[in-house]
Structure 1
Amino acid sequence: MVRIGIVGIGFMGRIHFLASQRLTGAKVTAICSRDAAKRAGDWRNTRGNFGPEPGQVDLTGVKAYADLSEMLADPDIDLIDVCTVTDQHTPIVLAALKAGKHVLVEKAIALSPQDADAMVAAAKSAGKLLMVAHVLPFFPEFRFAAEVISGGLYGKVVGAHFKRVIAKPDWSADIGDAAKTGGPAVDLHIHDTHFIGLVCGVPKHVFSVGTVESDAVTYLTTSYLYGPGGPAVTCSSGAVSMGGRPFVHGYEIYLEKATLLYDSGGVPLTMLTADGRSTQPELAGGGDALSAFSDELQAAVTGVTTGTEPALLSGQLARDALVLCHREIESVKLGKPVAIG
């Protein structure tokens, strides 16, 4: 049994706790929060942009720590699940690795590529797993796309466009705070850069245009420049819409022998093939967002059990996604293409 300790009981900490109840071979045995009410199970102020409404949580059998060092000293915890705001990730992860714990940390891995590099190096030195909770590849529509591309049956990616749009969040001030989360161009958009890196690889350059508020890039459109023979890939992502705009993400992916279409706002996953057929593949998990998070956590548990880093939770892949975000932010502010290397 893999014993999990969650650090940080906000929106994402609550989602991870709920998702953990579906795990096989693992359970949450401890939480850590500076908030006494949350340690007592009052999670009413952890609302986010999806999932069940927050309320009172039964923490029977779950240790509740106010002090991180005390939690890390607990020998009955195998995996530390870091769900704090991004600016707190690096010191918590480094302390957990030093304490001999495996770590799962929410995206983004860190605020800066330098911190991400330090975290990856610390995990290697400690001989422990550093896994980064990028959940998008576990959503059925994105899992399907990644498997089709990696399988190669329909040829290579010729072009693609991705999008991710939310209204200006009234449930979190942190998303717009570049000093805490990197702003929407990191906190939101890193879902896209991670997936693009996974299925298309890291480009040579990026060229981005966008909007800037209080030094945070709040919306951008990026061209990923792979050079001659590479795919034509673009993405639009941000949080500038007026209230009432539901969260939407999706893609159009053009392969040599097929096209994949998906928009969470109304276009179900559809595959168009060269024989003229249009099909809507059946997907496991349906519209239950918690299923993707439970699959993500199950992958982390399997990693701890086997001692092998799950490919989709790779610290290096997460680090590369963060670098892409930073280069795109730089491109927006400079108004010109920026090299990735």
Structure 2
Amino acid sequence: MVGIGIVGIGFMGMIHFLASRKLADAEVVAICSRDPKKRSGDWTGIQGNFGPKGTQMDLSGISAYAEFDELLADDRVQLVDLCLPNEQHADMAIKALEAGKHVLVEKPIALSTDDADRMVAAAQKAGRLLMVAHVLPYFPEFAFARDAVASGRYGRLKAAHFKRVISKPDWSSGVADLQSNGGPAIDLHIHDTHFIGLVCGVPKAVQSRGVSEDGVALHLTTQYLYEDPDLAVSAVSGALSQSGRPFTHGYELYLEGATLAFESATLGDQFHLAMPVSVILPNGQVEHPELGSGDPIDAFAQEIGAAVASVQSGVPAAELSGELARQALVLCHAEVQSARSGQPVPLS
């Protein structure tokens, strides 16, 4: 049984807590929060942009610490699960790694490439796993797309387009502070750059156009330039939507033997499935594959379950790789640079 210590009991910390309760081979043994109400189990003030609102939690058998060092000293904790503001990721992850703990840190890995490099180096030096919680590959719609490309059952991928657009976030002070969290170009769009790296590979350059506000990139439209001249990949991501459509994401993948399409959104205050996952075949037939649970908590349970399995095996899951998460961050920064300069930006 792997003992998990969750650090940071905000919306994402609560989601990780709920997801961890679904695991058979791990359990949350400790939490860390500066808020005495949260340490007592009163999570009624927590809310986010999906999933349930916070409630009174039963923390029986779970140690509740006010200080990070106290949690790190708990021998029951093998995996430290960091659900903290983005600017705290690097220092806290490195401290946990140096304390001999494996680490799962919420995306993005960090705000700067230098910090990401420090984290990767600290994990290597400590001989511990640094995993980054990019949950998108565990959502069934995206897991299906990834498997379809990797398996080759519909032939070679020729082109892909990804979309992820929100209204300006205001449901928590952390996500609303665009300066401290990196803004949508990092905090939001990194979902896409990570998935693109996982499914399409890392491009040789990017070319972007963007919209900025007060020095923060709010919106990016990007072409990913690959060595293969016959592979065309693009994405649009940002926070320009009006409040009546606070979230939408989706993709279209063009393979030799099929087109894969998906789009969902929140329209008004209702979930709107604009395009269920669809496999469009050359003969005009359209298939809608069975995908299993659409509960987002289940996707997070799979993600944390993969981290637990990685701790048990000593081999990090590809989806959680710190190196891939670092590369996703590099892509985001390159896109912002390209949008500001109006020129393509090569990637080393």
The 3-state SS of whatever aligns with 2:158 is: strand
CA distance in 2, matches of 1:174, 1:330: 24
Helix, strand or coil for the counterpart of 2:48? coil
1:69 is aligned to: 69
* 2:170/2:176 contact within 8 Å kept: no
Contact 1:178 1:215 in 2 (8 A): no
Write the letter of the residue equivalent to 2:300.
F
DSSP-derived class of the 1:13 partner: helix
AA at the equivalent of 1:4 = I
Indicate the percent of aligned positions where both proteins have the same amino acid: 57
Indicate the residue corresponding to 1:268 in structure 2. Answer: 276
CA distance in 2, matches of 1:92, 1:4: 16
Match of 2:304 among 275, 282, 297: 297
Per-residue deviation, residues 129-183 of structure 1 (Å, max 9, x unmatched): 1111000000001000000100012222111110011111121233353442111
Map 1:34-183 onto structure 2 (within 5 A). Answer: 34-183=34-183
Following the alignment from structure 1 to structure 2, what is the Cα–Cα distance between the partners of residues 43 and 214?
A: 34
Residue matched to 2:245: 245
- Cα offset for 1:290? 0.6
CA contact (8 A) 2:264 2:276 kept: yes
Contact 1:49 1:171 in 2 (8 A): yes
Structure-2 separation of matches of 1:271 and 1:13 = 35
Amino acid at match of 1:274: P
Secondary structure in structure 1 of the residue aligned to 2:41 = coil
Q: Do the aligned residues in 1 keep the contact of 2:203 with 2:224 (CA within 8 Å)? A: yes
Q: Deviations over 1:270-311 (max 9, x none)?
A: 0012343210000022x2111100000110110111111111
Q: SS of the counterpart of 1:303? A: helix
Residue of structure 2 in register with 1:306 after alignment: 313
Alignment correspondent of 1:315 = 322
CA contact (8 A) 1:176 1:218 kept: no
Paired position in structure 1 for 2:195: 195
Aligned-partner SS, 2:194: helix
The answer as to whether partners of 1:176 and 1:216 remain within 8 angstroms in 2 is no
1:164-222: per-residue Cα shift (whole Å, max 9, x none)?
11111121233353442111100000000000001111111111111111211111111
Paired residue type of 2:30: A
Contact 1:141 1:262 in 2 (8 A): yes
Is the 1:175–1:184 Cα contact (8 Å) retained in structure 2? no
Query: Partners of 2:143 and 2:21 in 1: how far apart?
Result: 22
Q: Superposition pairs for residues 224-243 of structure 1, below 5 Å?
A: 224-243=224-243
Task: Report if aligned partners of 1:188, 1:237 keep a CA contact under 8 Å in 2.
Answer: yes
Structure 1 letter corresponding to 2:114: Q
TM-score, normalised relative to structure 2: 0.95
Structure 1 stretches lacking a partner, 5+ long: none
Structure 1 distance, partners of 2:16, 2:173, is 21
Classify the secondary structure of the residue corresponding to 2:84.
coil
Q: TM-score, normalised by structure 1?
A: 0.97
1:6-63 CA distance string (max 9 Å, x none)? 0011110010001111011101010001111111112122211000111221111111
**Following TM superposition, by how much is the alpha carbon of 1:328 offset from its aligned partner in structure 2, in angstroms?**
0.6
Measured in 2, the distance between the counterparts of 1:13 and 1:124 equals 26
SS at the partner of 1:264?
Answer: strand
Computed over aligned residues only, the root mean square deviation of the Cα atoms, in angstroms, reads: 1.2
